[in-house]
Chains A and B, each alone.
Chain A
Amino acid sequence: MTEKESQVQAIGPKAYIVVWLCLLALTATTVTVARLHLTAYAVIASIFIATAKAALVVTFFMHLRREPWILKIMLFLALLALTLIVLLTFSDVWIRYK
């Protein structure tokens, strides 16, 4: 299993640089969104951008791309659970203060 994994081609420096540039662009987007005064929607936008950034880091910098499928599924389920937790909490706060 592990041998098979190591045979998968390594992520090259070019990919790292592209990912890094994407992260910078997403950071710039977060700052821009914060200045648009979107009230509560700004929080949602920031969370989506942060999730995208985390996904890039985990996939490329932390090599999730080369991990076996079971780890990918488990991480996806974990992320899904966290998303639902955030959604349920936010929806309660949102409805209460509406």
Chain B
Amino acid sequence: MVMDNEAAMKAPVSFYGEEGRFKGIFSWIFSTNHKRIGIMYLVAILTFFSIGVILGILMRINLISPGKFISERTYNSLFTIHGVIQIFLFIIPGIPASLGNFFLPILIGSRDVAFPRINLMSWWFYMIGGAIVILSIFTGGGAPDTGWTFYAPYSIRTTANVSLALVGVIFLGFSSIFTGLNFITTIHRLRAPGMTFFRMPLFCWSLYATAWTQVLATPVLAITLLLIILERAFAIGFFEPTLGGDPILYEHMFWIYSHPAVYIMILPAMGIVTEIFPVFAKRTIFGYKAIAFSSLSIAFFGYLVWGHHMFTSGMSDTARVIFSLITFMVAVPTGVKVFNWIATLYKGSIQLDSPLIYSLTFIFLFSIAGLSGLIIGTLSLNLYLHGTYFIVGHFHYTMFGGAGFGFFAGLHYWYPKMTGRMYNEKTAKIAWLTIFIGFNILYFTMFILGLEGMPRRYFQYQPQFRTNHIISTVGSWILAAGLILMFGNFIRSLFRGEKAPMNPWGGKTLEWTIPSPPPAENFEKIPVIEHGPYKYE
């Protein structure tokens, strides 16, 4: 199955040195190589992430002393653009488009994805969508101020530049659909000989489940946002109550996409930590099939719980009870995963390097996220907590603590393979500690604020909330310092890091059998697979 060291040494030049039709920047932006596209996505995604972080910090600064630095209108725009960027430009494409693009074909023993040109088109759509969203901040009636959910009827009535931002989001949606289509076809058609579905690394299973969600759910978003644009332009009356429309229908359609989107964000992160645990515990994964099927069932049930975002919107009581019930069912496959990860570590020979530390943090933070999710999934409690900072705390623990930390774990795990360099492990650990402390100060305080009754998205607040807001803001600075340290470490290591060996962590999956960084076509000879991916015993 594996290419031996000697063969790897003789392997062709890395994909960075590949000579194609174009030179310089064009050799990147017109490249159909999945690894180059993955790197381009990574750079773009992290750039947008940085912008989103800066906007978030500005919001937190306002909340130390409301009105001193930022006006009400600007604050509304800040949380809208922060949400749109972090959701649509960072966390949805985050793992699948960058690490997924780079590693999926390698992990299944393929030379590229099934549709390399569509892959490149997906990146272009992503960049065009991103550019349009950014453009909407500075043009027309000013930056959108609706919140990232674009709820009707306000999104229909506001004079802010909502239509342009929506066009941008529709482009981003199509980019996501293209990636999903590509991954489904790649996994069905391009697996190496002997690579059955149950011999695939579990990251591929999570990408597979994610891809189906991308393909099925994202078109609903596109059509919903298109209806808002039509409503704004022609006052048709889909969602505007004064014209006979139904604003709750908008919320249904929006969350039919946006709740499965949560699983588009979290499933790949779960896939990454599933790769990391066996490698750093030197043990075969516990319960391979249970993890694989739990990915599919999370994706499936993820379609059917969107109503828990709408418990206070005026939905029928029957629907509220049904949605609350199904919400609890999602916790079951998630619990299966957490159990299997811990069981994998049990009696393992644990190597506590930064990828594993980030993965363990993922479990810790995601468990808090999941348990707080059960609290607000309970209909009666939700009525009290809906629209408070408890929700903000919950979804930051889910999205950032879960998907974000999973992404960071993956970056640390695969950085040597992607760049051919090692990062400084000590700096990585210091950065992790800073991020972890800052994260919890910033977001755990939000749970307390929410329980005390602080409403989300408010520019002003009652004096009793001030201390917690200040603590939370200080947390945001610590978190930002940690992020700067982490990315600084990555950037510095690009130039000064030690050369990475082919397999620095002792991994057993296919990416560790080819040179770091990989050659343009990954494998000189397509490997023949004879056993499962985590053969440690």
Digitize A75-98: 1 where CB-to-B-CB distance is under 8 Å, 0 elsewhere.
Answer: 001100110110011011101100
Supply 29 A–B pairs (Cβ within 8 Å), ascending by A.
A77-B300, A78-B212, A78-B215, A81-B300, A81-B303, A81-B304, A82-B216, A84-B303, A85-B256, A85-B304, A88-B304, A88-B319, A88-B322, A88-B323, A89-B252, A89-B253, A91-B316, A91-B319, A92-B248, A92-B252, A92-B315, A92-B318, A92-B319, A93-B246, A95-B316, A96-B248, A96-B314, A96-B315, A96-B316
B300 contacts across to A, CB distance below 8 A: 77, 81
Q: Is B188 interfacial (CB-CB < 8 Å)?
A: yes
- Collect the chain A residues with CB atoms within 8 Å of residue B381's CB: none
- Give A70 to B304 CA distance when docked, in angstroms: 23
CA A77 to CA B249, docked complex, whole Å: 25
Asked if B197 is at the interface of the complex by the 8 Å CB criterion, the answer is yes
With an 8 A cutoff between CB atoms, is A36 at the interface? Answer: no
Cβ of B307 within 8 Å of any chain A Cβ, yes or no, is: yes
B97-131 residues with Cβ-Cβ distance < 8 A to A are none
Is there an interface contact between B304 and A84, defined as CB atoms closer than 8 Å? yes
Q: Which residues of B contact A95 (CB under 8 A)?
A: 316, 318-319
Contact pattern, B 316-347, Cβ under 8 Å of A = 1, otherwise 0: 10110011000000000000000000000000
Closest B residue to A68 by CB, please name it: B188
A positions within 8 Å CB-CB of B: 70-71, 74, 77-78, 81-82, 84-85, 88-89, 91-93, 95-96
Shortest beta-carbon distance from B329 to chain A in Å: 13
Most buried by A among B249, B303, B304, B318: B303
Q: Which residue of A lies closest to B220 (CB)?
A: A85
Q: Which residues of A contact B249 (CB under 8 A)?
A: 89, 93
The 0/1 profile, CB within 8 Å of A marked 1, for residues 186-205 of chain B is 00100000000100000000
Interface of A is mostly: helix
Which residues between 476 and 517 of chain B lie within 8 Å of chain A, taking CB atoms?
none
A-B contact count (CB 8 A): 48
Q: For residue A96, which residues in chain B have a CB less than 8 angstroms away from its CB?
A: 248, 314-316
A77 nearest CB neighbor, chain B only: B300
Complex-state Cα separation, A96 to B319, whole angstroms: 10
Residues of A within 8 A of B323 (CB): 88
Return B382 CB to nearest CB of chain A, in Å: 16
Closest-by-CB residue of B relative to A75 is B212
User: In the complex, what residues of B have CB within 8 A of residue A85's CB?
Assistant: 256, 303-304
The answer to whether A91 touches B318, judged by C-beta atoms less than 8 angstroms apart, is yes
Q: Which residues of B are at the interface with A, using a C-beta cutoff of 8 A?
A: 188, 197, 212, 215-216, 246, 248-249, 252-253, 256, 296, 300, 303-304, 307, 314-316, 318-319, 322-323
**Residues of chain B within 8 A of A74, CB atoms compared:** 212
Interface SS of chain B: helix
* New A-B contacts (10) at CB < 8 Å, excluding given A81-B304, A85-B256: A78-B212, A81-B216, A85-B304, A88-B322, A88-B323, A89-B256, A92-B248, A92-B252, A93-B249, A96-B314
Closest to B191 in A: A1
Q: Which residue of A lies closest to B326 (CB)?
A: A88
A92 and B212 form a contact (CB under 8 A): no
A70 near B197: Cβ-Cβ < 8 Å: yes
What chain B residues lie within 8 Å of A70 (beta carbons)? Answer: 188, 197
Q: Which residues of B contact A88 (CB under 8 A)?
A: 304, 307, 319, 322-323
Cα-based distance from A78 to B249 in the complex (angstroms): 22
Q: Which residues of A contact B307 (CB under 8 A)?
A: 88, 92
- Chain B residues whose CB sits within 8 angstroms of the CB of A84 once the complex forms: 303-304
Most buried by B among A82, A92, A96: A92
Interchain CA distance A88-B304 in the complex, whole Å: 8
Closest chain-A Cβ to B177's Cβ sits at a distance in Å of: 14
Min CB–CB distance A33 → chain B (angstroms) = 23
Most chain B CB within a 10 A radius of its CB, from A71, A82, A84, A88:
A88
Residues of A within 8 A of B216 (CB): 78, 81-82
Q: In the complex, what residues of A have CB within 8 A of residue B303's CB?
A: 81, 84-85
Q: Are A92 and B316 in contact (CB under 8 A)?
A: yes
A7–B216 CA distance with the chains assembled, in angstroms: 31
CB nearest neighbor in B for A67: B188
Provide the residues of chain B in CB contact with A92, threshold 8 Å: 248, 252, 307, 315-316, 318-319
State in angstroms the CA–CA spacing of A93 and B251 once bound together: 12
A24 to chain B, nearest CB (A): 27
**A91's closest neighbor in chain B, by CB?**
B319
* Min distance, Cβ B376 to any Cβ of chain A, angstroms: 19
CA–CA, A88 to B326, complex, Å? Answer: 11
B531 to chain A, nearest CB (A): 19
The docked-state distance in angstroms from the alpha carbon of A86 to that of B256 is 10
CB distance from B296 to the nearest CB of A (A): 8
How distant is the Cα of A95 from the Cα of B249 in the complex, in angstroms? Answer: 13
Which residues from chain A contact B212 at a C-beta distance below 8 Å? 74, 78
**Chain A residues with CB below 8 A from B215, complex form:** 78
B250 to chain A, nearest CB (A): 11
Q: A82 to nearest B CB, angstroms?
A: 7
